[in-house]
Structure formats: structure tokens, C-alpha cells
Amino acid sequence: MPDGERPAIEAILRRRSVAPRRLVAPGPDGNGIRLMVQAAVAAPDHGRLRPWRFVLIPDNRRNTLAEAFAAAARELDPDASAETVEREAEKARHGPVLLAVIVRIVADHPVAPASEQWASAGAAVQNMLLAAEDLGFRAMIVSGRKVTATALRKAFGLENDEHLLGFVAVGTPPAEPAPIARPEADERLSIWRASS
């Protein structure tokens, strides 16, 4: 491959998260969403556990999700102001396309420890974000304390070994995001020298 023609690496280096509140229509259609999930399924997955799944939140269920966000806000902070609760509820309406990311961790798995299962889930999300960009959209995963709230666990019918990792919002930014400063490779790379 000639120098300067590294489409996969170039796409990774260009990737930028855009906050869901800044994303506008259009978002990906059904085929685009399926392509994003297909990309997620290509993530490294030791033991072939497929420890992640995605749940599309349709537009006509956003108000129900907003109620669950509000309940989670009150659960996590019983003294939260009405403004704070409403602000949290409003987040359920951000982004033209919204997918919940659910992870099922198999404790004490003989081949794939929990850390590898979490790494697989992270790789699946990254593949999804890159696929969204390849389709011409921007995306971001958001989480926060609310993903641990009983209100949201109940809303998604999670089992004891399942975790709500966060929400992937996908859409179109009104303007291209400004470049972001990232560390150089040498700042994050060292050479191992065995300790004596």
C-alpha cells in the first residue's frame, strides 16, 4: 500500500466524539444501524462469549427512557432539584439514534477472565463508533453514574450478571468538530526491561 493510503488508520485518527445534545438529524437508517452492529460483532472476543448486546431506543420510547433517567437521578440523589432531574431526563431525547450497550460478564470463566470480557465490550463499542463515522455520521458513548441505578437496570430488564455500559448516540453534527490535541505515540509507548 503506498505511503499515505492507510484508510483504516486514517479513520481511527480522524474519529471524534460529538456530544449527543449537539447531534442532529439525519441519523443512520435501519441498514446503517445493522452495519454498525455488524462492525461491533467483529470485535476481538476471547472464548466467543459475545459479552455485549445493543438495544435500539425508538423515538416513540424516548419519553419512557426520560422517565427512567429521571427516576435514576432521584435514586442517586434524593435531594436533586427538579431542574437537575429534568436535565437528566432530557438527555434521553438527545441524538437522532440512541442505542443502549449491555454487557453480560461471565464470572470465573475458564478461558476469558472478566477483564477480557470488558475489553471485548470496549472494542465492540469502538468498532461501532468507527462504523458510524464511515457511514458519514458522528457518535459518542455516554454513561455516568446513572447506568448503575436500579431504575435503569429495571427499565432494561437486566439480569444480575448484566451491566448497562452506556448509550451510543449517533447523528449528524451541525459543523465539523474542531481538531483535538492527542498525545504522541512516544508519550504512551515504552520498552519493557525485566526487573531483576
Residue 194 belongs to some domain of the structure: no
> Tens of pLDDT along the chain (196 residues)?
566 688 889 889 889 899 999 999 999 999 999 999 999 999 999 888 899 999 999 999 999 999 999 999 999 999 999 999 999 999 999 999 999 999 999 898 999 999 999 999 999 999 999 999 999 999 999 999 999 999 999 999 999 999 999 999 999 999 888 888 899 999 999 999 988 6
Residue 99 β-bridge partners? 56, 168
Which CATH number belongs to the domain containing residue 61 in this structure? 3.40.109.10
Q: All 3 cell numbers of residue 87?
A: 436535565
Distance CA(8)–CA(108), nearest Å, equals 35
pLDDT of residue 180: 86
Residue 193 belongs to some domain of the structure: no
Residue with cell 505515540: 185
> pTM for the whole thing?
0.92
**Residue 91 has what DSSP assignment?**
G
Using only the alpha carbons of the chain, give its radius of gyration.
Answer: 19
Residue 59 belongs to some domain of the structure: yes
pLDDT of residue 74: 97
Number of compact structural domains in the chain? 1
Distance CA(121)–CA(104), nearest Å, equals 9
What domain range includes position 19?
13-187
Distance CA(82)–CA(80), nearest Å, equals 7
Residue 132 belongs to some domain of the structure: yes
Of the candidates 68, 54, 153, 130, which has an alpha carbon nearest to the alpha carbon of residue 98?
54
Chain segment 62-115, per-residue pLDDT in tens = 999 999 999 999 999 999 999 999 999 999 999 999 999 999 998 989 999 999
Distance CA(99)–CA(88), nearest Å, equals 17
Residue 108 belongs to some domain of the structure: yes
